[in-house]
Amino acid sequence: MAGGDSLHPPDWRESAAKHWHRIDVMLADGDAEAAAFFLQQSLEKYLKGYLLVRGWALRKIHQLQTLLNDAIRNDRSLEPYRDLCERVSGYYFVERYLQLVRSGLTAADIEADRTEARQLVLALFPDGSLP
């Protein structure tokens, strides 16, 4: 285990689903930056869960585009989600390093990205469902 993180893929999916729900909570509270952060966290965990099923060695990494690169090695049809992953990766830094980045993110931005993210998650887990 890396730093105590689970190697059990369903644990990652469960945590990702919790973050997905937190997007709604933060949007309802008018906090687009926090909603963006939880979108990034959710996608990161969904991607890690997908990769772990395929024998990927767990790494401490937050860059969605790097995780997507690893996923594309298993399924080239995930390539269209590259722009989404690059954009949403930046959301991690907006929330964590606010003094460095002023985002200007809106709820509409997050909703649009979440719509596309839903398609990515369903591509990763066609048997799954999202709220």
pLDDT tens-place string over residues 85-97 = 999 998 876 555 5
pLDDT tens-place string over residues 23-37 = 999 999 999 999 999
Q: Is the pLDDT of residue 54 over 90?
A: yes
Give the mean model confidence (pLDDT) for residues 13-25. 96
DSSP line for 53-109: HTTPPP-----HHHHHHHHHTT-GGGGGGHHHHHHHHHHHHHHH-TTT------HHH
Q: Could you tell me which residue, 47 or 100, shows the higher pLDDT?
A: 47
CATH code of 9-124, in short, is 1.20.120.330
Q: What is the pLDDT of residue 58?
A: 85
Q: What is the pTM of this model?
A: 0.88
Confidence of residue 40 (pLDDT cuts 50, 70, 90): very high
CA pair distance 47, 121, nearest whole angstrom? 8
pLDDT tens-place string over residues 71-116 = 999 999 999 999 999 999 988 765 555 544 456 889 999 999 999 9
